[in-house]
Chain A
């Protein structure tokens, strides 16, 4: 749209110019400009898609799981490597590693859990807000590993809390951990608002 800028020097000239402008408006402004939001109809048809609330919430959950690290043994170093630039957990929205259970969504159990540590692990798990998930990484967390028969080692962390994904290995490479995270994503996508822990089929 053209911008009207009359060149004036004195007040009288300004009045004359204003009068001319009003007369030209009366002559030319007969039609109506179209409303500026008329184009929205077409944009809505192009950009808005309908889905269920469950699917939208599950998608948001899946893309922003804050991990709580619980590294008790050597598997923790694979987790550290996985969160580094080469394997880059930020791709999955997991770059904000939490040390407080109250801000975390997924607990990464990476290492041997002894019975004396089991009380602390259970307390931290209980403090995490719902919905929450647990990934058991490595042979020791899954089953006790080589220390299964020992007097002080928990034979599998699923004795003290429910585990969603098991990542085998001694220790598993970061690729395996990323595969486990992908399986957890597949599980979260199946969940609903009421029941975020629907079983993975």
Chain B
């Protein structure tokens, strides 16, 4: 059974390594600043004791005044899991750095989120619509769609 790691301890580790990156580490999830997401993802994948090598789910939520991108990470070596979150502000051009370099599994899920919620992932190798067609107007999973 995969065990969730203590997010407060993990948050402290990350804050020591990358100052100013952790926004909050309460309630079972770890929220980080989107500017330092690339560094945090590399840290989580490569640090001994953490080694989150497997991205199971990448999804996003629309909270109207910001978007929250949710990464569910699993470490197959240490048999533990972590929920990592980051936020994107603005409705016109919300942007989050891509994690495809760290976890290749993010490729299609980032395209799906771009398609349905309109969040741009900077550094994605091929960011275009996945489920809807080119020329579709709007992003249907946004709460102000329709």
Contact = CB atoms under 8 A, between A and B. Distances in A.
Interface of A: 115-116, 151-152
B28 interface: no
Contacts of B145: 151
B57 interface: no
B140 A116 contact: no
Contacts of B3: none
Contacts of B132: 116, 151-152
Nearest to A116: B133
Nearest to B136: A151
B140 A151 contact: yes
B131 interface: yes
A61 to B, nearest CB: 37
Q: Is the interface of B mostly helix, strand, loop or mixed?
A: loop
A116 B136 CA distance: 11
Contacts of A152: 131-132, 140
Contacts of A151: 132, 136, 140, 145
A155 to B, nearest CB: 16
11 contacts: A115-B133, A116-B131, A116-B132, A116-B133, A151-B132, A151-B136, A151-B140, A151-B145, A152-B131, A152-B132, A152-B140
Nearest to A118: B133
7 closest cross-chain pairs (CB), A and B? A151-B140, A116-B133, A152-B132, A115-B133, A116-B132, A116-B131, A152-B140
Contacts of B131: 116, 152
A147 B104 CA distance: 33
Most chain A beta-carbon contacts within 10 A, residue among B131, B133, B145: B133
B115 to A, nearest CB: 11
Nearest to A114: B131
Contacts of A116: 131-133
Nearest to B132: A152
A152 B145 CA distance: 13
A189 B11 CA distance: 74
Interface string B116-141: 00000000000000011100100010
Contacts of B133: 115-116
Nearest to B130: A116
B114 to A, nearest CB: 16
Interface string B31-71: 00000000000000000000000000000000000000000
A116 B140 CA distance: 15
Nearest to B133: A116
A151 to B, nearest CB: 5
A52 to B, nearest CB: 49
A116 B133 CA distance: 7
A177 B103 CA distance: 46
Given A116-B133, A152-B140, 9 more contacts: A115-B133, A116-B131, A116-B132, A151-B132, A151-B136, A151-B140, A151-B145, A152-B131, A152-B132
B143 to A, nearest CB: 14
A151 B138 CA distance: 10
A148 to B, nearest CB: 14
